[in-house]
């Protein structure tokens, strides 16, 4: 993302048109963090850190595995 993530709460996300889908563990080999899956207004999914609502890719140690 080119700008900082503007959403701080699930209310902010919902107001912007995002929809909550589920909570699960990251599939990364060494990560396993609890994440929330949200659907963007454009129809894509985005994994977010539980509690902080920050995109998980910023903290996932296995992010390179998902870019393949």
For residue range 8-49, what is the model confidence (pLDDT) as tens digits?
A: 999 999 999 999 999 999 999 999 999 999 999 999 999 999
Does the pLDDT value for residue 1 go beyond 50? no
| Number of folded domains that form the chain | 1
CB 14 within 8 A of CB 4: no
Residue 48 has phi, psi (to 5 degrees) of -125, 150
pLDDT computed for residue 3 by the predictor:
59
Residue 49 lies in a domain: yes
Residue 48 lies in a domain: yes
Give exposure, 39-55, as e/b (b: 16+ Cβ within 10 Å).
Answer: eeeeeeebbbbeeebeb
Quick one: CA torsion of 7, 12, 18, 21, rounded to 10 degrees? Answer: 90
State the residue range of the domain holding 44.
21-66
For residue range 54-66, what is the model confidence (pLDDT) as tens digits?
A: 999 888 999 888 7
């Amino acid at each position: 993302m080119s700008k900082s993530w503007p959403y701080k709460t699930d209310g902010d996300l919902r107001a912007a048109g995002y929809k909550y889908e589920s909570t699960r563990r990251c599939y990364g080999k060494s990560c396993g963090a609890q994440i929330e899956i949200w659907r963007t207004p454009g129809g894509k999914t985005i994994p977010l850190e539980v509690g902080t609502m920050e995109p998980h890719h910023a903290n996932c140690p296995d992010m390179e595995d998902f870019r393949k």
